Amino acid sequence: MATETLTLGKALNTGLRKALENDPKVVIMGEDVGKLGGVFRITDGLQKDFGDQRVIDTPLAESGIIGTAVGLAIRGFRPVCEIQFDGFVYPAYDQIVSQVAKMHYRSQGKVRIPMVIRIPYGGGIGAVEHHSESPEAYFAHTAGLKVVTCANPQDAYTMIQQAIASDDPIVFLEPKRRYWEKGPVELDAPLSEAYPLHSARVARAGTDATVLAYGPMVRTCLDAATAAAEDGRELEVIDLRTLSPLDLTAAYESVKRTGRCVVVHEAPGNLGLGSEIAARITEECFYSLESPVLRVTGFDTPYPASRVEEEYLPDLDRVLDAVDRTFGW
């Protein structure tokens, strides 16, 4: 079997290519996805090989991208839409929450919208405003949508294909600051045997405390776990992978063993995913908990100017600090 070392970005590109090859109904659409290959080059070379009717440069209109993709999906296509940056999804927000999410329900299951909405999200790349946001909670709060995010090249490669093959409308969040990080990717394993899309996974086993993260923060938490191990503390890091539905099975099992839990995400804390997760862990693991579930998140401010984003974003120190606090209770 072919295992290659790929960046997360290239793994997505390869996964998209596979999806285009395997199903003639898959179309990619978005701003600059054709000749340019997208501003992050995630669709690089795809238009050249599949033509401009499969990889479509759209007019500069996000509501139009999603709205027409709805029509294409009704017509039997499987559109994969790229939103150029997190902060530009809002013009399409109405289409996503009012139309994409509800068509199946409203039609009593007769209309399917097998659509993937790819969004490079999160901060850490020194960008100007509107280019570093974490909108996951908006989508996770909407019933009818599924929301997933990948944290390493292998998941990027398989999850994007699984998302495209799924009949659900899926918001696929890509941790843009991790696009350039490399890892091994098993290219030939059949999708049917791949790790399921809507499941969390233990990224690092440990015994002393459970750290829950997803997307860009998985790397940060793994680094924190490495640092903690040097101090003799074994952290279990769980990559949630799926944000809606939330799969907390592994988390419950873990917290019952460790008795301590820290949830980490970049988005602001107020009503973020961490609140939901902490509540559920508390409900499910109350008698095993040695201390309250703590959250490490972005602050409740708009995303700040990039020269202070390092202080805004949770980093290794803040994760370790929270872990320390769970031990100090």
Partner 1 sequence: MAKGDPGVTTRGRRAAPRSKRPATAGEPELVQLLTPEGERIESAIGPDGTEYRVDFTDEEYRGLYRDLVLVRKLDAEATALQRQGELGLWASLLGQEAAQVGSGRALRTQDMAFPTYREHGVLYCRGIDPIMPLGLFRGVDQGGWDPNEFKFNMYTIVIGAQTLHATGYAMGVHMDGKTGTEDGEAVIAYFGDGATSQGDVNEAFVWASVFNAPLVFFCQNNQYAISEPLERQTRVPLYQRAGGFGFPGVRVDGNDVLASYAVTRHALDNARLGQGPSLIEAYTYRMGAHTTSDDPTRYRIASEVEAWRAKDPIARMKAFLEKQQLADADFFAAVDEQARAESVHLRERVLAMPNPEPVTMFDHVYPNGSPELDEQRAQFSKYMESFEGSAH
Ligand X SMILES: Cc1ncc(C[n+]2csc(CCOP(=O)(O)OP(=O)(O)O)c2C)c(N)n1
Q: Which residues bind ligand X (CB under 6 A)?
A: 31, 60, 62, 84, 88, 91
Choose, by CB under 8 A, the member of 168, 223, 321, 324 that binds partner 1. Answer: 321
Phi–psi pair at 243, nearest 5 degrees: -105, -25
Of 31 and 208, the one with the shorter C-beta distance to ligand X is 31
Which residues pair with residue 246 across a beta bridge?
Answer: 243
d(C-alpha 19, C-alpha 119), whole Å: 18
Of 41 and 102, the one with the shorter C-beta distance to ligand X is 41
Binding of partner 1 at residue 307 (CB under 8 A)?
yes
Is 104 an annotated catalytic residue?
Answer: no
d(C-alpha 92, C-alpha 191), whole Å: 30
What is the rounded radius of gyration, in angstroms, for the C-alpha atoms of the chain? Answer: 19
Which two three-digit tokens encode residue 65? 């991208």
d(C-alpha 42, C-alpha 12), whole Å: 7
d(C-alpha 115, C-alpha 62), whole Å: 15
Which two three-digit tokens encode residue 54? 């499969």
Choose, by CB under 8 A, the member of 198, 260, 312, 320 that binds partner 1. Answer: 312
Of 45 and 196, the one with the shorter C-beta distance to partner 1 is 45
Q: Measured from the CB of residue 93, what is the shortest distance to ligand X in angstroms?
A: 11
Of 21 and 300, the one with the shorter C-beta distance to partner 1 is 300
Of 36 and 187, the one with the shorter C-beta distance to ligand X is 36
Q: Which does 167 bind (CB under 5 to 8 A by kind): partner 1, ligand X, none?
A: none
d(C-alpha 11, C-alpha 111), whole Å: 31
d(C-alpha 217, C-alpha 149), whole Å: 11
User: Nearest CA to 275 among 113, 96, 141?
Assistant: 141
Binding of partner 1 at residue 179 (CB under 8 A)?
no
- Biggest distance spanned by C-alpha atoms of the chain: 60
Binding of partner 1 at residue 292 (CB under 8 A)?
no
Interacting positions 63-92 with partner 1 (CB under 8 A)? 63-64, 68, 71-72, 75, 77, 87-88, 90-91
Give catalytic residues, as residue numbers.
131
Residue numbers at the binding site for partner 1 (CB under 8 A): 24, 27, 31-32, 34-37, 39, 52-53, 56-64, 68, 71-72, 75, 77, 87-88, 90-91, 126-131, 270, 299-302, 304-309, 311-312, 317-318, 321
